[in-house]
Amino acid sequence: MESNCVDDNVKLCDFVKKEGRILKTVDAVFEDIESFEDCKKLCLDGNFRCHSFDYGDIAEKVCRISHHSMNTLSHIKEPYLDVPSSSTYEITSCFNVTIDCRASEMIVKVKASRNFNGKIYARLNPNSCVNDVTRSLEFELQLGYQDSSCSVSQEEPGKFVSEVVIQNHDQIVTTQDVGLSLRCSYTLKNYTVSSNLELAISGRIPALKEETAVVPAPTVRLRITGRNGEQVASAQVGDPLALRFEIFEKNSPYELFIRELVALDGTDSSEITLIDEHGCPTDQEIMGPALKVNGSGQVLTVPFDAFKFPTSDIVQFKALVTPCLPSCQPAECDMNDNFGLERSFTSFGRRRREADIDQDEMLLIQTIRISDKFETESKTDAFKASEGGGTSIAKSLDNETCSNIVSLFIACGLFLVAQIVLIGAFVYIWGRQKQNKSDNVPSFNPYVNSAFQR
C-alpha cells in the first residue's frame, strides 16, 4: 500500500540518475523552467509526494514530475521509453532536519524517509562527537556550547555555528552523504520584568537617588607563548612554552579560571586531558598548574614543554574559561613531585559548584605546529658539517681524484708491458719451432745414385 499524501516539506533528498530512459506518463508537466535545480525544487515542493523527475528530455525547458519510481512500476509492462540521451532522477532517501536551540546546546533532529543505517557527527570531530544509528527513522545529535569535543564556535555574542554530516556508511564518506551547517542565534538584550501587583502607598515617599551599572562580559584570548610571554608560531619538541589566557580589556573587573584543558592532534584521532574538570593538572611532567602573571588574575599562564602526537605535527589546545567577580578561588591540587613526595599547590582553574555554574563559560582554541627535535637536529648538524668542512671535503675529493688518475695510468702501462712481453715470447717460440723443422729435413742430390752409396 502506498500513501502519496504530502507530509512535512523535505528539502534534503538524495537523487540517483537513471540514464537512457524516461517515463511514458507522468503526473505533472511544467514548461519554461529555467534550470535543472528549479525542476528538482518543483518535485520536492509539489502538492503530492514526488518520487522522480526528468528535465529537458522531451523539449527544452520542460520539467516532468511523477509519484512513480522503478520500485512502484515493477507490475507495469514497459513503463519507460528508451531514449539514449535522456535521464530520469529518482529519490533514494530524504531527511527532514530541524534544529532545537536551547540555553546551553543545540540539538539537530533528523527524520528520514526510510530506515537509516549510518551515523551523524560533527564534521571537525567525527570520532568524539558522533551518534551511531541502526535502522531508525528518527535520530538526533546534541552539540553543547561548552563541549570542546563537538566544535561549536561562536561567531559573535549570541550566535553559535557548527557543521554536521549525515553519513550513510559506517566507515567511509560517499556522495550520498549530506553535510549541514547549523546556526543558533540568541537575542542578548536587557529586559525589565514587572508584575501586575499594585501596592497602595499612603503618604508621600521621598525619591531616592538610583544608579544602575551594567558590567559587560570580558573579551578573553588564548595565546601560545614562550615562558617570557613572547608570541610563538611553531616550536620543537621540548621547547619551554606556555598557554597564556588574558582579558583584553585592562580595566575589566573580572578574573579568570580554567578547566577541562585538552590537547588534540590535527586529525582528531588522539587527545589528552591536561587540566581536569577540577582545574588540576593531570600530569605535572607534561603541563603545570595555571598561575597568575604579576599577581593579576586577569592574566593566567600554564607552563609546559612542547610535545606532539605521533600522527601529526599539529597540536590543538581547547579550554573552558569562565570569568568571575570579584575574584576566582583557586583549586587546591595534591600531586606527587619528582621525588615521589606528595605536595599541594594552587591552580587558578577550579571548577565551581554545580549551583554556581552559569552560561558565561567560553571555549578557547589555539593551534601550534611542533616538529620532532631529533629530525631538526640531524638536519642542522648535517648543514653545519657541510659548511665547516667544505674545504677539507673538497681537498679530499681532489686528492682522491688525482690518485685515481695516476693509478689508471700505471695500470694501463703495466698492461701494455705485459702485452709486449707476451708478443715477444710468442715470436721467439715461433722462430725456434721453425728453425728446428728446417734442421730435421734430409739433404737430396739429384746427381748421386743412393744405391751406390755405402
Q: What is the C-alpha to C-alpha distance for residues 56 and 29, in angstroms, rounded to an integer?
A: 11
Determine the average pLDDT of the residues in 356-376: 69
Residue 245 burial class via C-beta count within 10 angstroms: exposed 0-12, middle 13-18, buried 19 and up: buried
What does the CA dihedral 55, 57, 63, 68 come to, rounded to 10 degrees? -90
Q: What is the C-alpha to C-alpha distance for residues 95 and 73, in angstroms, rounded to an integer?
A: 24
Q: What is the C-alpha to C-alpha distance for residues 130 and 121, in angstroms, rounded to an integer?
A: 4
Which positions ≥6 away from 222 have C-beta within 8 Å?
Answer: 243, 244, 245, 317, 319, 321, 364, 365, 366
pLDDT of residue 349: 52
Q: Helices in 231-277 by DSSP H: which ranges? A: none
Cell readout for 263 is 590537547
What is the band of 62 on the pLDDT scale with cuts at 50, 70, 90? Answer: very high
CA 290 from chain centre, in angstroms, equals: 28
For 247-256, the pLDDT digits (tens) are 888 778 888 8
Most confident of 22-26, 157-161, 256-260: 22-26
CB atoms within 10 A of CB 222: 20
User: Which residues does residue 118 pair with via DSSP β-bridges, in sequence order?
Assistant: 133
pLDDT of residue 55: 94
Q: 4 or 117: which carries more pLDDT confidence?
A: 117
For 82-106, the pLDDT digits (tens) are 988 899 999 877 888 889 998 888 9
Residue 39 predicted with pLDDT over 90? yes
Residues 256/297, Cβ–Cβ less than 8 Å: yes
Residue 120 predicted with pLDDT over 90? yes
What is the band of 9 on the pLDDT scale with cuts at 50, 70, 90? Answer: very low
- Average pLDDT of the chain is 76
